[in-house]
Amino acid sequence: MHSRRVQPPRASILSAFTRDWRPGFIARPLDRIPALHAHRNTGVDMDTAAHNSASRPHPIHVMDAAKTLNVTVTYGLSEAGRKASLLSGGDGRARQQLSIQVPAARLHLVAVDPAGVARLKLQPRYELSDSDRIARYDAPPIYDVPPSIDDLYRDAARNHELERLFLAQRNSWRGQRREADRERRAEAAREFLSNPSHRAIVHPAPTPKRCFLQTATGRLMFGVDSDVGIAKHVPGEAHRRFRMDLQVRKQRNLNQRAEQLELHEQKKAAAKAWIDRNGTMDQKARAAAGLLAFDEVVAAMTEHSFASVADVPRYELDGATRLTHYLRETLGDYSAVAAPSDLQVTSLDATSASKDQWSVVSALQSKFPDATIKLREHRLTSRRHPAAPALTVFGVLVSRRDGPFTFRREFAAPGR
């Protein structure tokens, strides 16, 4: 027999479940239902028959007041309650569980979980605080004396009423919180939309449907599908501004790139002209072959620019050696070493100058009146000796502008 093949007897049973079938109806073969049988044989419209069958009212079940429901009751006993339980012949356990028969008139005091277990409404329990707020506790109630059935009913009724008030209080508080949050979002949206300079957070990037704003109370997410009112327009405007900023930044970078390329071409032309005028035969030959390094040309031009002060001592980049001698003298430890990898240099413009330092600055100003000359202060420290005092050395930095080039050289200056 084929697995999908429906045998004739089964076909009539399966076809009996028509569209107007509801739980409680008895499925009958089509040939035993007169209206459907007539429809199948004659093709008559069955809307009227189907309507009559579907419009039948559901049976109304009248609850029998004499019936009872088996309900589980769970509560706790304190130490005094456990003692009283033992004295009265109980088991004295901290957690008590028993079954009682609850009449139909008190079923509002019963809760049935999805597993079909009926429990008396003692857990969670609700209590009224001193501030007239209702607090919820997940633990069952604890008694100092084993309660009677009437005590359990009374506490369940009280818990039932407090639960209704708690839910109403919680819904009211949630409504107030939602309203306050909605107003806060609307205020942030108005401020953002009214100020064209405001921008959304770029990570994650704004999209036409979602964006994040940084506010005084933290980060807020705005969405077209989740917000209402003026807040609904924030993502679109934030995305528009974000895309506009990207275009502006792209154009600015392209302009800067074009300026840099133009400046580089000017430097290459100036370097070639300088080599043609002042270069050696070897440099000219390598330049003609395209093998002269650009850095070599810049170094030669720098030497030529400062040739008039060749007798002035230059600032030596020997900070590790200087710091090693300084640490040995200061710490009295002749095994102290400051490696180049340990060297830390902090450079800044000097705020004062000694007589000897000013003499060096004045001499360089007389040689290069068009240059920018600054007295620099360098503080040398060692990562290996963080507690040791810093070594301070000075230099005079001279910057000269020559066509597209800016040549810099630092000369030594005496310490204080």
Instruction: Give residue 133's pLDDT.
Output: 85
CA distance 231 to 343: 55
CA distance 79 to 76: 10
What integer best gives the mean pLDDT of the chain?
85
CA distance 236 to 209: 7
63: Cβ contacts below 8 Å, ≥ 6 apart: 104
Query: Strand 68-77 vs strand 142-143: parallel, antiparallel, or unpaired?
Result: parallel
pLDDT in tens, 392-403: 999 999 999 999
Which residue positions in the chain have pLDDT lower than 70? 1-65, 416
Instruction: Give residue 217's pLDDT.
Output: 86
Query: 200, 213 in Cβ contact below 8 A?
Result: yes
CA distance 93 to 99: 16
CA distance 345 to 325: 16
| Domain coordinates in residue numbering, the chain | 8-54, 68-172, 306-413
pLDDT in tens, 24-49: 444 444 444 444 344 344 443 434 33
